[in-house]
Amino acid sequence: MAQSWLCVGRLLYSLPPSLKWMTIRMAEYSAFSLLKNALTGNKDWRPAWRKPDPKASYDVIVIGGGGHGLSTAYYLAKEHGITNVAVLEKGWLGSGNVGRNTTAVRSNYLLPANTRFYEHSMKLWENLSHDLNYNVMFSQRGCLNLAHTPAQLDDYARRGNAMRHLGVDAELMTTAEIARLVPALDVSATARFPIVGGLMQRRAGTARHDAVAWGYARGADRRGVDIVENCEVTGFLRDGDRITGVTTTRGEIRAKKVAVAVAGSTGRVMRLAGIETMPIESHVLQAFVTESLKPFIDTVLTFGMGHFYMSQSDKGGLVYGGDLDGYNSYAQRGSLPIVDEVMSEMLALFPGLARVRMLRSWGGVCDMSMDGSPIITTGPLPGMYLNCGWCYGGFKATPASGWCFAWTIAKDEPHDLNAAFTLDRFYRGMVIDDKGQGATPRLH
């Protein structure tokens, strides 16, 4: 017993000042609440979110109980005082891409609109566990893009300079520095694709994706937001052009504002509102995890001669992924040729992993926009707000996406940070094409 008190004392001593203050105010999750509940048999914990029946009407309905929908509801309540909000989720909370991604968080973009937006997201990530009083296990272990040709390294230098110009951290690494950072990497000149350097963002890293969904859900719930699971939207209620609510599998729900944040299902939901075409295609992206290994790599690594990225989870599994399967799909499962391709890219970098066994693979449906950048906007119909086009980089955007979308919903106009992410930018020729390779639904 004396020993456990000592542990609690040590824990409190090691907490940052902001968390100590929250502890004194008896935050729901704290060392004190942990101790109190441990002493009372853990009978008093409340569920992280309620299971309310939907009310007849709300100020705002958010369609989609994924990361972006939940963070939108959270910031609507926290930043704008709009708490009469429902989040409608067709399945269970976090069953889509927020629980299917490879957890990387970074802000290493080239173009200013993207860089500013993702850097805002990074700053929200850096305080997210404290803000939510929920440990999202944000780990700034860095993200290293490997360069395999001098031209590619020049391109990375250009992107790194663009990032630093906007106040984002970036540094070029030499092959020797990379070899020290990732000893398992084949950095020899005889490697299949020799490594000539890399671009590192030290503040990038990973976060526990499920905890992000659960933390935002609890934060929104405690501020009065109704999170309604197993409630699929089947149509929109309209007054002329204006959207006035939704029909769902749990009845009609009216709202002054209806916000759509449904990622891969964007095409299906917009069709319910009579919008037949969007600058988006839905594609399946696979992810993989190996059996647990001893500490092997402590950064997020990306391959420059193909499409491959890898990190190691706290459980020890290598978490990695590659390219889209390549054809339109709403099926949350992938095909074997991509499994083969991703494995071969992994072995090109790490020949030593040849005998490591793959534990699981899964697929998520990504809303691939035609320029690789997202859409956060009012409209396209009166009373409607749209958040989509996350390609396969939506997880890292979760905080800023919700923050900007909440602003857009509350004020009926975009924040400066998402002003460029319009739906009509394609028509106006104002695409945000970070790779500079033209319209294709394969960018990110």
Partner 1 sequence: MLITCPYCGPRDVIEFTYQGDGNRQRPQPASQNLDAWNAYVYDRLNPAGDHNEIWQHSGGCRAHLRVVRNTLTHEISSTAFARGDHNSVARHRAEDKS
Is position 119 an interface residue for partner 1 (rule: CB under 8 A)?
Answer: no
- Closer CB to partner 1, residue 150 or residue 337? 337
Nearer Cβ to partner 1 (190/277): 277
Between 97 and 201, name the residue whose CB sits nearer to partner 1. Answer: 97
Residue 311 pairs in a beta bridge with 319
Shortest gap between Cβ of 333 and partner 1 (angstroms)? 9
Does residue 95 belong to the site contacting partner 1 (CB under 8 A)?
no
Q: Which is nearer to partner 1, 98 or 270 (CB)?
A: 270
Q: Is 330 in the site for partner 1 (CB under 8 A)?
A: yes
User: Cα 399 vs. chain centroid, distance in angstroms?
Assistant: 8
- Does the footprint of partner 1 cover residue 97 (CB under 8 A)? no
| Residue 436 binding partner 1, by CB under 8 A | no
- The yes or no reply on residue 267 touching partner 1 (CB under 8 A) is yes
- Which tokens hold the place of 36? 């109190």
Contact letters for partner 1, residues 40-79 (x by CB under 8 A): ----------------------------------------
Distance CA 289, CA 342 (A): 12
1-9, 156-164, 221-229, 324-332 -> range binding partner 1 (CB under 8 A) = 324-332
- Please give the distance of CA 176 from its chain centroid, rounded to a whole number: 32
Neighbours of 230 (CB within 10 A): 14
Q: State yes or no: residue 273 binds partner 1 (CB under 8 A).
A: no
Interaxial angle between packed helices 112-126 and 394-411, expressed in degrees from 0 to 180 and rounded to the nearest 10: 100
Question: Is 278 a residue that touches partner 1 (CB under 8 A)?
Answer: yes
Candidate list 89, 119, 186, 281; residue touching partner 1; CB under 8 A: 281
103 Ramachandran zone, left/alpha/beta (phi>0; psi -120 to 50): left
Contact window for partner 1 (CB under 8 A) among 45-53, 280-288, 307-315, 395-403: 280-288
Using the rule CB under 8 A, is 327 a contact of partner 1?
yes
Instruction: Give the SS3 label for residue 309.
Output: strand
Distance CA 303, CA 305 (A): 6
Among 151, 331, 359, 430, binds partner 1 (CB under 8 A): 331
Q: Could you tell me if 213 and 70 are in contact, meaning their C-beta atoms sit under 8 angstroms apart?
A: yes
Please report, in angstroms and rounded to a whole number, the separation of the first and last CA atoms in the chain.
53
* Measured CA distances, 166 to 160, 162, 209, 385, 435 (Å): 10, 7, 27, 29, 18
According to CB under 8 A, which one of 21, 183, 427, 430 is a site residue for partner 1?
427
For residue 290, give both structure tokens.
């190996």
Query: What is the closest distance, in whole angstroms, from the C-beta atom of residue 265 to partner 1 in the complex?
Result: 8
Residue 372 within binding range of partner 1, rule CB under 8 A: no
Q: Which of 105, 195, 287, 370 binds partner 1 (CB under 8 A)?
A: 370
Identity of the residue, 19 or 339, whose beta carbon is nearer to partner 1 in the bound complex: 339
Q: Contact, 106 vs 138, CB < 8 A? A: no
Q: Which of 174, 169, 167 is nearest to 146 (CA)?
A: 174
Q: How far is the CB of 348 from partner 1 (least distance, A)?
A: 19
d(CA 442, CA 371): 8
Q: How far is the CB of 272 from partner 1 (least distance, A)?
A: 11
Mark the segment that binds partner 1 (CB under 8 A) among 180-188, 212-220, 230-238, 262-270: 262-270
CB-count burial class (<10 Å; 0-12, 13-18, 19+) for 394? buried
Find the binder of partner 1 among 192, 268, 315, 411 (CB under 8 A).
Answer: 268
Task: Verify binding: residue 317, partner 1, rule CB under 8 A.
Answer: no
Strand 300-302 with 358-369, pairing: unpaired
Annotate 189-225 with DSSP letters as a single string.
TTSSS---EEEEETT-EE--HHHHHHHHHHHHHHTT-
CB of 360 to partner 1, least distance (A): 20
Q: Is 42 within 8 Å of 67 (Cβ atoms)? A: no
Binding site for partner 1 (CB under 8 A): 265, 267-268, 276-282, 326-331, 335, 337, 370, 426-427, 439, 441
